[in-house]
Structure 1
Amino acid sequence: MKPSITYLPFLLLCITYSNTLLCSSTAADPLSSQPEAVVDTLGRPVKFGDYFYYIKPADKTGKYPGGGLGLRGIQGNMSDSSCPLCVVQETIELRDGLAMQFYPVNKPDDGIIRVDTDLNIQFAFPDTCNQPTVWRLQKTKGKWFVNLGGEIGNPGPETVSNWFKFLKTGKSKEGYNKYLILYCPMSVCRSCNVVCKNVGIVMQNGKRRLGLAKKPYEIVFES
């Protein structure tokens, strides 16, 4: 069933975080007109398609240190792996989670993923539970969660729940570039007035589910 999303007017992408106003329109590579490249913990540009990355928490302390991102059953607790599946953060720090691939709305000539660019996120393995492993937003009991079942490409009203983007927030304690995940598919559907919100950790049945939240989930990319 197609999710029902309420859209709100949006003029300028600015986020208040840690008392700092982040405006993605200013995040550009000084040597070009393109937005800044997303980089992994080795300082290498993150690339689209047949490149695999683990999304890990930017900091190892705080309320949700944990590990990388994986999958669990929607209905059960953190140990349940029955279908259908949802996107969760592993509770054990040593667990990397599952590798992912990224597909921007417009295929870049240099293959590099850039900040403030609408893209699809896919777990890097074949369809499971009879559905694609592409992220999509779905509403359950008044909350928006990141589940599976999206599709790659085909931007428009029918796929508006499948698109996410990364914004740089600063440096981690280890000196890595850290990012947040944002749902704000402005370039995907020009006729849609979309609501822009952070993707963060939402607790449910002992699971650290990903969903729309006030506080962002700050991440780094490991290859």
Structure 2
Amino acid sequence: MKTIILFSLIALIILAANSAPAPVLDAHGKVLRAGVKYRVKPANSDDYNGGLILAHVGNKSCPLAVGQDLGLNKGPWLTFTPVNPKEHVIRVSTDVNIKISGSNSCNESNIWQLKYNEVMKEHIVMVGGVEGNPGPKTLYSWFKLENITYSGYKFVFCPSVCSHCELMCGDLFPFLTDDSNGQPLVLYNATSWHFSVIFY
């Protein structure tokens, strides 16, 4: 009887492991880990340019947006924190907080959040979000990484931390403006274009 119970438990553990979403892999094929620093670059780039930076929008110095660099900047390091604090692997289709390393000139947290910007008339990624505490109050601080068939991953806003909340889902895509020192990431619901990135 004990043997049957033991084998049943092992089978359940294996089944649970197999049903978990696939891990996100870096440019070297290694699993992305929670709390480890990574840089981001476009998947179709031959060099390390075009990283993500903190960008000003319009003529205001604060708040700061997250955008793609237009020049030679590799961008700062990013860390990912999964919704389950006991999980050490970053997985596709799973809510994560994304944080830019270091500090910023606006004295805000460097946690990504989706927020409507009056200057651009768009929902864009800005800093000042909340880390952890998943639920309705932190809804806009959760993002996902999704695999793109031909190459790399895309950033997506479609959190699962609140089952009854109404929200807009979509990909995050660099949006070129005349007033910014970068291309802020905006919520974009078209399916024909993707901002494909890899991590290194």
TM-score, structure 1 normalization: 0.73
Query: Secondary structure of the equivalent of 1:161?
Result: helix
Q: How far has the Cα of 1:102 moved from its partner?
A: 0.5
Query: Is 1:120 equivalent to 2:97 in the alignment?
Result: yes
Q: Which has the higher helix share?
A: 2
Specify the alignment match of 2:140 in structure 1. 161
Q: Deviations over 1:188-223 (max 9, x none)?
A: 11221332111111122253111101333111011x
Larger Rg computed on CA atoms: 2
Query: Secondary structure of the equivalent of 1:106?
Result: coil
Query: Is 1:219 equivalent to 2:197 in the alignment?
Result: yes
Given that 2:157 and 2:170 are in contact with CA atoms closer than 8 Å, whether structure 1 keeps it comes out as: yes
% identical aligned pairs: 34
What is the alpha-carbon distance in structure 2 between the residues aligned to residue 191 and residue 200 of structure 1?
26
What is the alpha-carbon distance in structure 2 between the residues aligned to residue 84 and residue 35 of structure 1?
34
Specify the alignment match of 1:198 in structure 2. 171
Specify the alignment match of 1:75 in structure 2. 58
Given that 1:181 and 1:216 are in contact with CA atoms closer than 8 Å, whether structure 2 keeps it comes out as: no
Note the residue ranges of structure 2 that are not aligned, 5 or more in a row.
Answer: 1-14
Query: Is 1:84 equivalent to 2:63 in the alignment?
Result: yes
Q: How far has the Cα of 1:75 moved from its partner?
A: 2.5
Specify the alignment match of 1:208 in structure 2. 183
What is the alpha-carbon distance in structure 2 between the residues aligned to residue 37 and residue 171 of structure 1?
17
Q: CA RMSD in A?
A: 2.3
Given that 1:136 and 1:161 are in contact with CA atoms closer than 8 Å, whether structure 2 keeps it comes out as: yes
Specify the alignment match of 2:84 in structure 1. 106
What is the alpha-carbon distance in structure 1 between the residues aligned to residue 107 and residue 117 of structure 2?
20
Query: Is 1:137 equivalent to 2:120 in the alignment?
Result: no
Specify the alignment match of 2:5 in structure 1. none
Given that 1:127 and 1:133 are in contact with CA atoms closer than 8 Å, whether structure 2 keeps it comes out as: yes
Aligned residues: 178
Q: How far has the Cα of 1:68 moved from its partner?
A: 0.6
Given that 2:67 and 2:183 are in contact with CA atoms closer than 8 Å, whether structure 1 keeps it comes out as: yes
